[in-house]
Amino acid sequence: MDYLSGLNENQRAPVEHIEGPIMVIAGAGSGKTRVLTYRIAHMINSGIDPFNILALTFTNKAASEMKQRISTIVGDGEAKNIAMGTFHSVFAKLLRYNSERLGYPSNFTIYDTQDSRSLIKTIIKELKLDDKEYKPASVHGRISSAKNNLISPEEYANNAEIVGEDRMSRRPLIYQIYKIYMQRCFKAGAMDFDDLLYQTNVLLRDFPEVLHYYQQKFKFVLVDEYQDTNYSQYLIVKKIAAVYENICVVGDDAQSIYSFRGANIQNILNFKKNYPDYQLYKLEQNYRSTKNIVEAANSVIAKNQDQIKKDVWTENDKGAHIKVVKCLTDNEEGRVITNKIFDVKQSTGAEYSDFAILYRTNAQSRSFEESLRKLNMPYKIYGGLSFYQRKEIKDLIAYFRLTANPNDEEALKRVINYPKRGIGNTTMEKIIIAAQQYDVSLFDIMSDFVRYPVSIGSAAQKKIIDFVTMVKSFGADLDRVPAFDLAQRIATSAGILKNLHDDKTPEGVARYENIQELLAGVKEFSISNRDAENNSLSDFLIDVALLTDADKDNEDDKNKITLMTIHASKGLEFPHVFIVGLEENLFPSQLSINSRTELEEERRLFYVAVTRAEKTCTLSHVQSRFRFGQIISSEPSRFIDEIDEQFVEHENAYSDKATAGRSLNSDRKFRGGLNAPGPRTNGFSTRNLKKIDSTPNTGGGTTETLKVGYNVVHERFGKGKVTGLEGAAPNQKATVFFPRVGQKTLILKFAKLTISED
């Protein structure tokens, strides 16, 4: 397949540059994903073993789409062996194999944000601190950013600057909360999201043999959206790539929008320092958008001080102006935008899936949902309260978690009395105190009242013992029984199915259906990983903990209008984009307008939003909006004025047609987890074979000159015949015809080629 011809010269250069450190600065719409995809395909076609490739993407969906596309070029069997996914999911799986070295169980739990906050809240209470001053969410933010900068609790406590900041904000004891939080997570056998990166760093730092193993395994490293990596991620990549320095990072500083979770543009600048002989490539031609859109976006981003200069341009048509629509209220905004979508669809024959409504905050989706539902237009909301965050789903998953890891304190607290089994707060308080006294987990106390006496009545003790016995019996099946069968058993025995089935209210019925859907998801996971080694219920839990809404699109969602935050839209594109709620204090956010750097991040966010559009881009703002249960009057966003006026057209909104009524939430569908990579299969024997040339790491050895006409065997492509040679060692390439897979041009130092004697 002649995949290289689908690229322009600028794109082709980094695709063919496989070795050594390279950085690709890719403007919006310049074909960045295409470059990454083809580069990986090209590497594999050149003979690089997919097992040696680590590719880190921003979402799991991006990873699975890229894998899909690579498969069509190099074949399914090849692509599935690439380690590809988000930092969090790739390293969660890596930790699964190595966590015991760090003192964590291999079935460690992944705490989500809610778990982390709940634990922090508990600690604040135990320390008898005022939770008005010590708000769990913001304490968690401090801890999270410490972890993302690899600052341990001890270092935190000894860092005068950090502790000084805490003192200034009248929360001098955060260092103590941090320390206890880490200890409690460790005791619970739990890692939070930040730990997945933090503990990976600890692992690679303290276990040289592990570092060495992954340095040899991942000889080629690629990182997408490099501008949004934080220090912790940066260091992982740097360590793994330290031996071969075959590292390719791709990013765009103008699209850096995640500094709130530790992303650091400094990483782009550090790249030059760490790899002085790196090669820089720039992709500046935009293939996505009209001239008006590209230039309008340029005119806004030019207002930022912090940026790497580049010149994004396009050969596309001029296209329509950017439209700015003014509305009275948020409800009118919903109707006006919805009507516009209807009109454009009628007049141009566009599909529903050609439209996206993008907003700054999830809460803004409401008015659009209402209007779309009234007009019967199909839509899909991404983000917000996702399927996995629903109470009933979290409840059942908590049982799964407890089964895999009985020390998981947050899961235990969640389900100990759900469904109601008469184990109330008073009882739990006593158990918690005992656990502190004996320095063991809650589950340990509950498992052995003889060894750990607690003053609880015998009736309550019996109930607890029943619960513990049940959980233990689930645990006994963990590695014996397929994930789905165990999940089904848990849902039944724990009484969840019955409890929800008895609830005949519409909400109860919906919850029951959601549980059924989760179970169906486990079933799908079980089936698609039937032959893999990572197919237990605890493997399912890893997937579930790290899945997001964007990762689980299904068939039913194909032709629908997209509603999402701008953050979630990164990397996507739509013919018609509506950016709504362009008002001061909303976009830019109220919390950002007092600092230049934060305001510039909001501006980059606006840049990202505008550059999602292919054909038309419409902005809207309202005069008064409902917020915090109050009507707030709003001024148009400064970003509207910052667009060079030659690209803009102002428009009056439709008149406000009054409508009334409100209905239920939209349905969101659930689909099962990601496929874990299967076992490696390689049907070739190495008998009668002589090794030629060398992989980059091995020095001498017996090598023999390859000649045209020789029969050769490739580890994965099978037998073939050399039809051509070009270049000289060490960069010699051979064209080989393989009857099984066709003609390939192999780079000899990568391709594991052997001359066949027969």
Partner DNA sequence: ATCAAGGCTTTTTTT
Partner DNA sequence: AAGCCTTGAT
Min dist CB 528 to DNA, Å, is 21
**Site for DNA (CB under 7 A): which residue of 147, 321, 360, 638?**
360
Integer Cα distance of 78 and 81 in angstroms: 6
Min dist CB 290 to DNA, Å, is 27
Written as six digits, the tokens of 703 are 């090598």
Residues of span 669-698 touching DNA by CB under 7 A: none
Size of the site for DNA (CB under 7 A): 44
**Site for DNA (CB under 7 A): which residue of 205, 212, 261, 501?**
261
Min dist CB 58 to DNA, Å, is 8
Q: How far is CA 150 from CA 31, 101, 191, in A?
A: 34, 19, 15
Nearer to DNA, 51 or 418 (CB): 418
Min dist CB 416 to DNA, Å, is 10
Residues of span 161-200 touching DNA by CB under 7 A: 193-194
Min dist CB 735 to DNA, Å, is 41
Q: Is 93 in the site for DNA (CB under 7 A)?
A: no
Integer Cα distance of 117 and 711 in angstroms: 63
DSSP 230: B
Q: Is 59 in the site for DNA (CB under 7 A)?
A: yes
Beta bridge partners of 564: 358
Q: Is 89 in the site for DNA (CB under 7 A)?
A: yes
Min dist CB 115 to DNA, Å, is 11
Catalytic residue, from 67, 335, 414, 612: name it: 612
Q: Is 182 helix (H, G, I), strand (E, B) or coil?
A: helix
Q: Is 422 in the site for DNA (CB under 7 A)?
A: yes
Report the run of H or E that residue 70 belongs to, with start and end: helix 60-74
Residues of span 125-144 touching DNA by CB under 7 A: 135, 137
Told to judge if 346 belongs to the known catalytic residues of this protein, a careful annotator would answer no
Residues present in the chain in total: 758
**Rounded to 5°, angle at Cα 486 from 485 and 490:** 120
Q: Is 72 in the site for DNA (CB under 7 A)?
A: no
Integer Cα distance of 317 and 167 in angstroms: 57
Told to judge if 360 belongs to the known catalytic residues of this protein, a careful annotator would answer no
Q: Is 370 in the site for DNA (CB under 7 A)?
A: no
Taking residue 472's Cβ as centre, other Cβ atoms within 10 Å add up to: 13
Q: Is 383 in the site for DNA (CB under 7 A)?
A: yes
Told to judge if 37 belongs to the known catalytic residues of this protein, a careful annotator would answer no
Residues of span 556-595 touching DNA by CB under 7 A: 565, 567-568, 589, 591-592
Nearer to DNA, 274 or 461 (CB): 461
Integer Cα distance of 401 and 186 in angstroms: 15
**Site for DNA (CB under 7 A): which residue of 10, 71, 528, 548?**
548
CB 87 within 8 Å of CB 58: no
Taking residue 519's Cβ as centre, other Cβ atoms within 10 Å add up to: 17
Catalytic residue, from 225, 228, 583, 600: name it: 225
Integer Cα distance of 432 and 445 in angstroms: 9
Min dist CB 552 to DNA, Å, is 11
Q: Is 119 in the site for DNA (CB under 7 A)?
A: no
Report the run of H or E that residue 365 belongs to, with start and end: helix 365-374
CB 263 within 8 Å of CB 230: yes
Residues of span 615-644 touching DNA by CB under 7 A: 626-629
Catalytic residue, from 224, 253, 295, 602: name it: 224
Told to judge if 114 belongs to the known catalytic residues of this protein, a careful annotator would answer no
Report the run of H or E that residue 397 belongs to, with start and end: helix 391-404
Written as six digits, the tokens of 335 are 């109707």
Q: Is 546 in the site for DNA (CB under 7 A)?
A: yes
Could you tell me where the beta strands, DSSP code E, fall in 35-100? 53-57, 83-86
Q: Are strands 718-726 and 711-714 parallel, antiparallel or unpaired?
A: antiparallel
Told to judge if 238 belongs to the known catalytic residues of this protein, a careful annotator would answer no
**Site for DNA (CB under 7 A): which residue of 190, 423, 522, 541?**
423
Span of 8-16, 40-48, 421-429, 511-519 interacting with DNA by CB under 7 A: 421-429
DSSP 713: E
Min dist CB 53 to DNA, Å, is 20
Integer Cα distance of 190 and 349 in angstroms: 51
Helices (H) and strands (E) in the chain, counts: 29, 24
Integer Cα distance of 468 and 488 in angstroms: 19
**Site for DNA (CB under 7 A): which residue of 273, 420, 480, 687?**
420
Burial of 163 (C-beta count, 10 Å sphere; 0-12/13-18/19+): middle
Min dist CB 320 to DNA, Å, is 28
Told to judge if 33 belongs to the known catalytic residues of this protein, a careful annotator would answer yes
Span of 12-20, 49-57, 542-550, 606-614 interacting with DNA by CB under 7 A: 542-550
Show which residues are catalytic: 32-33, 224-225, 255, 612
Q: Where on the chain is the footprint of DNA (CB under 7 A)?
A: 59, 86-89, 113, 121, 135, 137, 193-194, 257-258, 260-261, 360-363, 383, 417, 420-427, 460, 546, 548, 550, 565, 567-568, 589, 591-592, 598, 626-629
